Amino acid sequence: MAAQPHYARHVLRIMFTIALAASAASMTLAAPNIAAAVFEKCTGGHRIACVIDGDTLWINGTKVRVADIDAPEISEPKCASELALGNRATERLIELVNQGPFELQAWPGRDTDRYGRALRVLLRNGHSLGDILVSEGLARTWTGRREPWC
SS (H, E, C) 86-138: HHHHHHHHHHHHCCCCEEEEEECCECECCCCCEEEEEEECCEEHHHHHHHCCC
117 is catalytic: yes
Q: Is the distance from CB of 102 to CB of 60 less than 8 angstroms?
A: no
Classify each residue of 72-84 as buried b or exposed e, where b means 16 or more C-beta atoms within 10 Å of its C-beta.
bbbeebeeeebbe
Q: Which candidate in 73, 82, 92, 120 is catalytic?
A: 73
Task: Please identify which of the residues 88, 92, 117, 120 carries the catalytic annotation.
Answer: 117
Is residue 65 among the annotated active site residues? yes
**Which residue of the set 65, 88, 92, 120 is catalytic?**
65
Between vectors from CA 75 to CA 69 and to CA 80, what angle results, nearest 5°? 90
* Cα–Cα distance measured from residue 108 to residue 102, given in angstroms and rounded to the nearest whole number: 18
CA distance 15 to 10: 8
Per the annotation, the verdict on 73 as an active-site residue is yes
Residue numbers annotated as active site: 65, 73, 117
